[in-house]
Amino acid sequence: MFIRLLASLILLACQSVLADGAFPQTLRPAEAQYRVVVNGIPVGLKATIRLEAVQDHYQLRFLIDNKLFRHEEISQFQWRNCYALPMHYQHASSGFGIERQGDIRFDWQQHLAIGSEGNYSLPEAVTDALGIAMMARCKMARGDESFSYPVAEAEGLTTYQYQTLGTRELETPAGNWHVAGLERDYPEGGRRSRFWAARELDYFMVRMDHQENPFIRGRIEMTDFRYLDSPSPERQEGITSARR
């Protein structure tokens, strides 16, 4: 059960950020650190989300790495008017008896996804499992209360659906934040994921809560955040420091 929950947390951790008002035409490079908590108990796993500008595109990386387990996802995409045009997506997991990896390359001249599980045709608009996080920020900035979007995975196309949850104050190990919420809808009963994004950080995710079933619950919560577009990146803290 723990492994299934951890896998769900990993898959979902990058899939939530939202905003209100005008959204920037360019994405600001940043890095956030998180801790993993299962059923209210920290389990000693740390996660990193890093967004970088690389020549003519962006790279978004999600990593969990310790002595027992490693999971990494990387998305390379171009940012075009609130659309994350995917170029390459890859993932790899090892540990706890898990050995998985895969990737998708996007050939937009032929509208073809070339993946480790096979090739398939692409519609005019599609993104990958990490690019949807950037698009969610912008779509909510436009005032959408709900939205859905096709996402390319190694096995084929699927659709992610979201509903907004309003605003609140939220405490994390990195401080207190003014946050807005987003919930992902699932066809399976009993599963639920809720994400919280800080206004002070251009609506970067500060916490994600996931319920796999009535007995197993987990969360990822921010412990540190830095912008990377200055010679000496400075740590960003919440309204009131609450580090522990």
117-171: per-residue pLDDT in tens?
999 999 988 999 999 988 877 766 666 788 888 999 988 999 998 988 888 999 9
Mean pLDDT of all residues belonging to the chain: 83
Q: What is the mean pLDDT of residues 64-86?
A: 90
Summarize pLDDT for 77-89 with one digit per residue, the tens.
999 888 999 999 9
| Radius of gyration of the CA atoms of the chain, in A | 17
Domains by residue range for the chain, with CATH: 2-227 (2.50.20)
Residue 224 has pLDDT above 70, yes or no: yes
Mean pLDDT of the 65-79 span: 90
pTM value is 0.82
Tell me the residue type at 150. P
Res 18 pLDDT > 70: no
For every residue of 2-44, DSSP letters joined together read: HHHHHHHHHHHTTS-----S---SSPPPEEEEEEEEETTEEEE
- Measured between alpha carbons, how far is residue 25 from residues 68, 83, 162, 229 in Å? 40, 10, 23, 16
Work out the number of other CB atoms within 10 angstroms of the CB of residue 52: 15
